[in-house]
Structure formats: C-alpha cells, structure tokens
Structure 1
Amino acid sequence: MLRFTFKETATEEEREHVLAAMRRTASVDSVSFSTVGQNLGDPDGFTHAYCVGITDLPALRRYMHDPVHLAGDPQIMPHLARIAIGPDLSDDMTPTLAGDILALHEEKAALYPEWAAEFGPLLAT
C-alpha cells in the first residue's frame, strides 16, 4: 500500500500520467491484484493510494526489480509531494515479515542509490 499526495504544482495531465504509470506498474506478472485511485477518509491528508497484492517475498523481490516498475518510478516521483508506504497488512502471520520486507527495500536502495535519493525525501514521517 502506498498513500500519496501530489505536489500542488502538478497539472491534471501530469496527475493522469502518474496514475497511468502506476497502473502499468501494478499490472506486472508478480502482482495478483491492484487498485489505484483516490484515498478515502485519510486523517493524514493523503489524497491518493496505490495498492497491490503480492503473494510472497520472492514475488515482492521480482516486483521491486521489474523493468516496468523501475521505469515507472522516475515518471512518478517528481510529481509527488509526500508518500507513506506499507506494508500495511498481510495474511502471512510470519513474525519477521515486516523486517523481511524492509530488508528488500534496503536491498533495492543499495542497488539503486539514485532511486533511494529521490524516494527518501518524499517519505512521510
């Protein structure tokens, strides 16, 4: 789950382009289901959300390094003001799952430092 807010300077055309890029990313083989659209009732002020269902950690690794995903991020991130990224929920009750997912994000950041530099400042604290 990714919740986000567009920059105030993002035009309607740019917003539609971002949502289209997110939908392309959400359609890669490692994703079981997805939705992209408005975020309803968020007390933190996030206006939009991106949610993908991914079956397991190997599928998540494939998703994170999929060429479609890697190509989409540079089209998306410049238009976002801030983001909050999950994991927010899982039916996998493994106690270490959140840490395992974080390790995959850290692995990606180490492999793609330019991605990490652009992504990091957007994270909501």
Structure 2
Amino acid sequence: MIIHQLRFRFRNETTEEQKAEVLALMRRTAAVDSVSFGTVGRHLGDPEAGYTHAYCVGIADLAALEEYMHDPVHLDGDPRIIPHFERLVIGPDLSDDPDPELGAKIMALHQRKVEMYPEWARQMETIPEVRIA
C-alpha cells in the first residue's frame, strides 16, 4: 500500500464557495477506482505550520498509482483545484512495500506525468509555495 498525502492552504482570495468546490473535486479524485481509501478535510496539525486542509489516499501498488495519476477524473480536477493553493506540501508519503527503490520509482512516475502534461506542470508552478517532503 502507498499512502499519498497533501497538506495545503487556500489563497486568501479563494471564497468559501470556491473552497467547497475544491474540496468536492478532491473528494471525487479520492474516490476513483485506483484508490483503496481516501479522505479530505481539515488539517489537524500545528496551526503555526500554516496548513488548513489535508488530502490523503491509499493506493494498492505502483501500477494503481500510475493509473491514479492519469485517471481522467484526476486530470480533470487538477486545473480547477491548483489555482486555489497558496501553500502545498506533498508527502511525506509512506508505504509497506519493502522495495528499496519504491521512492525513486514514484518520482519517475511523477516525472513522466510532468513530461506528458506540460500544462499541468505549468499550473503547479503557479502555486506560490510548494514543497515535497
């Protein structure tokens, strides 16, 4: 199992209505077939860290992760979600898979997505603060 998590804060100009739409889109993504379980909600960590919300999905294996990354629902939601992020931290992900190369394989899948969808990569660059943990 691969557990993928995001922590984020909305931009100041994002309205409550837009926040609700973004969270609904994220819940829709967390419910695609390649996801074993998912949740979206308030971030309960240290408020001083500056994150208000979190997203977490459990994905069975590397093949399911690749399917998830390219799922039409995921690809459709991202352009409507990304513009609302002020801060985003990706990970740290975790897994019970003993493969010592799993992290590198996941990063290779991410790089492939960047190459396949340059517009997605450009959208990610518009987030003022992004960190991979």
TM-score by length of 1: 0.94
Residue 121 of structure 1: CA displacement?
4.1
CA offsets per residue over residues 15-38 of structure 1, 9 Å max, x none? 000000000001100000000001
More strand by proportion, 1 or 2? Answer: 2
Q: Is the 8 A contact 2:6 2:91 kept in 1?
A: yes
Q: Could you tell me which runs of 5 or more consecutive residues in structure 2 were left unpaired when the two chains were aligned.
A: none
Matched, 1:20 2:27: no
**Structure 1: which 4+ aligned runs deviate by more than 2 Å?**
none
CA offsets per residue over residues 19-69 of structure 1, 9 Å max, x none? 000000011000000000011114532111000000101100000000000
Residue 87 of structure 1: CA displacement?
4.4
Change (3 A) 1:15 1:35: same
- Report the RMSD for the aligned CA atoms in angstroms: 1.3
Q: Is the 8 A contact 2:83 2:126 kept in 1?
A: no
Q: Is the 8 A contact 1:87 1:98 kept in 2?
A: no
TM-score by length of 2: 0.89
Alignment equivalent of 1:93, drawn from 91, 95, 98? 98
Report sequence identity in percent: 60
Q: Is the 8 A contact 2:36 2:57 kept in 1?
A: yes
User: In structure 1, what residue type is equivalent to 2:83?
Assistant: P
Q: Could you tell me which runs of 5 or more consecutive residues in structure 1 were left unpaired when the two chains were aligned.
A: none
